[in-house]
Structure 1
Amino acid sequence: MNMAAASLVLVFVLLLVGGVAWWLLRHPAFAIQAITVQGEVTRNNAVTLRANVMPQLSGNFFTIDLNRTREAFEAVPWVRGAVVHRDFPNRLRAVLVEHEPMALWGDDGANKMVNQQSRVFEANVEDLDVETLPRLKGPDDQSAVVVQMYRDLVPLFEAMDMGIDRLELTPRGSWRVQTERGALLELGRGTEAEIAAQLKVFFSTLSQVTARYGRTPTALAGADLRHKDGYALRLRGVTTLEADGNKKP
Structure 2
Amino acid sequence: MRHSTALHRTPAAELPVDVRLLNASASALFLLAAAIFAALLMLWLSRQPVFAIRAIRVEGDLARNSVSTIRANALPQLAGNFFTLDLARGQRAFESVPWVRHAIVRRVWPNRLAVQLQEHRAAALWSQDEGGDKLVNTEGEVFEANLGDVEDDGLPTLSGPDGSAGQVLAMFRRLAPLFARQELAMDALSLSGRGSWHAEFDSGAEVELGRGTDDEMQARVERFLGTLPQVIARYQRPLVYADLRHNEGYAVRLKGITTTLEAPASGRRK
TM-score, normalisation: structure 1: 0.88
The reply to whether residue 222 of structure 1 matches residue 241 of structure 2 is: yes
**Is 1:234–1:241's contact at 8 Å kept on the other side of the alignment?**
yes
CA distance in 2: counterparts of 1:80 and 1:235, whole angstroms: 44
Higher alpha-carbon deviation: 168-177 or 124-133: 124-133
Go from structure 1 to structure 2 and tell me whether the alpha carbon gap of 1:245 and 1:15 turns closer, same or farther (over 3 Å shift).
closer
Residue aligning to 1:186: 208
1:239 and 1:6, CA in 2 relative to 1: closer, same or farther beyond 3 A? closer
Contact 1:111 1:123 in 2 (8 A): no
- 1:173 is the counterpart of 2:195: yes
Q: Are residues 6 and 212 of structure 1, via their aligned partners in 2, closer, same or farther at CA, if it must alter by over 3 Å?
A: closer
Please give the secondary structure, in 2, of the residue aligned with 1:241: strand
Give the structure 2 partner of residue 210 of structure 1: 232
1:55 is matched with: 76
Give, as a single letter, the amino acid of the residue that structure 2 aligns with 1:149: M
Q: Residues 90-139 of structure 1: CA distance to partner in whole angstroms, max 9, x if unpaired?
A: 11111101011111111597441111111111101211244521111112
SS of match in other structure, 1:176:
strand
Residues 20-99 of structure 1: pairs in structure 2 closer than 5 A: 20-99=41-120
Asked if structure 1 preserves the Cα contact closer than 8 Å seen for 2:182 and 2:229, the reply is: no
Is structure 2 residue 253 aligned with structure 1 residue 231?
no
Aligned counterpart for 1:133 among listed residues 152, 155, 166: 155
Give 5+ residue unaligned stretches, structure 1: none
Alignment root-mean-square deviation, CA: 2.2
Aligned-pair identity (%): 47
Does the 8 Å CA contact 1:37/1:94 hold for their aligned counterparts? Answer: yes
Residues 8-23 of structure 1 mapped to structure 2, 5 A cutoff: 9-23=30-44
Distance 1:11 1:119, change over 3 A: closer
Q: Is the 8 A contact 1:120 1:140 kept in 2?
A: no
Between structure 1 and structure 2, the one with the greater Rg is 2
SS of the residue 2:199 aligns to: strand
Name the structure, 1 or 2, with higher relative contact order (CA <8 Å, separation 6+). 1
Q: Which letter does structure 2 place at the counterpart of 1:144? A: G
Aligned pairs, how many? 244
Change (3 A) 1:94 1:194: same
Tell me the equivalent position of 2:5.
none
Aligned to 1:241: 259
